[in-house]
Amino acid sequence: MTGRPAPRILFAPDSGALIGGGHVMRCLTLAGAMRARGWSCSMLAGEGGLRLLAAFGPPGVQAIALADETPDGWASAFAELGGRFDIVTVDNYRLDAAQEARLHRARVVAIDDLADRPHRCRLLIDTSFERRAEDYAGLVPPAAGVLCGVSYALLRPAFAAARPAAAARRDGRPARRALVSLGLTDLGGITAGVVETLAHLANEVALDVVVGAGASSLPRLRALARADGRVRLHVDASDMARLMTEADIAVGAGGSTTWERACLGLPSVSLVLAENQAPQARALDAAGLALAVEAGDAGFAGGLADAWRRLSGDAELRRRMAQRNLELCDGRGAERVADAIAILAGDQAPESSVGS
């Protein structure tokens, strides 16, 4: 790229109070991959998203504040900013073709998990388990590239780097350390209740609990950690790959961190915290990749306890689950997506592809 201005990419993830941090975190991962290729990266987000950018973003990503996070607010920002960027990556369930059309000259990359609304994009990425490109027939322009499957999961390089050490631990050894990570934003304050339930079941198992600095559970979790030496609290942890590698089992959210656990072969109880997570969690359960428990069920505490006992008490289940997850996700999806965006910037749309 010597002698030419660096290509410019804008990331536009949802970061509303009810959405969690997954959209922002996967955009930050992709921004890191684009920065490594010499691109100039910016992120348009509300207050919550900009906090995550400051805490976890790769160096050099410009922050652009969005005051109005309604669809109309996004559309207005797109109309103003779209012409400044070569690529705009939109990761927001509340936006569709109507807002994306306001981006005018920019090539649009849409990140989606739902396949439930039209997009005006040149490239669509959906990393859902068992998703197929044909699920987007009629929802994207005919010439758009569609990259589907877990092989495109957007994970930071640390996860691929940690795979050898993690795989060596997945031999069915006794469960002595568990990771509890239900999202940095701790939707509904669920983390403290889960940890309280597990503390009655864990016996000698240490609990590494990960939350964000703004988590509503934080005061209760600090009290639990003071009272129980098995509970180790990690606030705004930047070393998730290490924590997952050292864990023997996990209780995690059913969103994008599913693929971080899969990459490192970490046997998990996957909690469904939002309705859109339920189909994938059930499919993963049916495939022997995780144990799904729906947080909204009346019998949630009992279901969580049953899943914990099953996973922590069955060495062969853990070994088998670990192997299937290691085969599913190699952690190099961000590189594949970044390559596809680079091709798109050269005005060569990639062919539709499906990753398993």
Distance CA 16, CA 69 (A): 7
Residue 232: partners with Cβ closer than 8 Å, 6 or more residues away: 206, 207, 208, 209, 225
CB 156 within 8 A of CB 29: yes
Minimal CA–CA distance to 331: which of 281, 279, 257? 257
- pLDDT (tens digit, 9 = 90+) per residue, 195-215? 999 999 999 999 999 999 989
The DSSP H or E segment spanning 223 is helix 218-227
CB 292 within 8 A of CB 282: yes
Minimal CA–CA distance to 191: which of 214, 213, 206, 210? 210
CB 188 within 8 A of CB 265: no
The DSSP H or E segment spanning 89 is strand 87-91
Minimal CA–CA distance to 37: which of 334, 338, 337, 333? 338
pLDDT value at position 349? 44
- pLDDT (tens digit, 9 = 90+) per residue, 229-245? 999 999 999 999 999 99
- pLDDT (tens digit, 9 = 90+) per residue, 48-101? 999 999 999 999 999 999 999 999 999 999 999 999 999 999 999 999 999 999
The DSSP H or E segment spanning 210 is strand 206-211
Is the pLDDT at 331 greater than 90? The verdict is yes
Eight-class DSSP state of 289: S
Average pLDDT, whole number, for the chain? Answer: 93
pLDDT band at 280 (very low <50, low <70, confident <90, very high): very high
Residue 72: partners with Cβ closer than 8 Å, 6 or more residues away: none
Domain boundaries, the chain: 8-155+331-354, 157-328
Is the pLDDT at 1 greater than 60? The verdict is no
CATH topology of domain 8-155+331-354: Rossmann fold (3.40.50)
CATH topology of domain 157-328: Rossmann fold (3.40.50)
Q: Do domains 8-155+331-354 and 157-328 have the same CATH topology?
A: yes
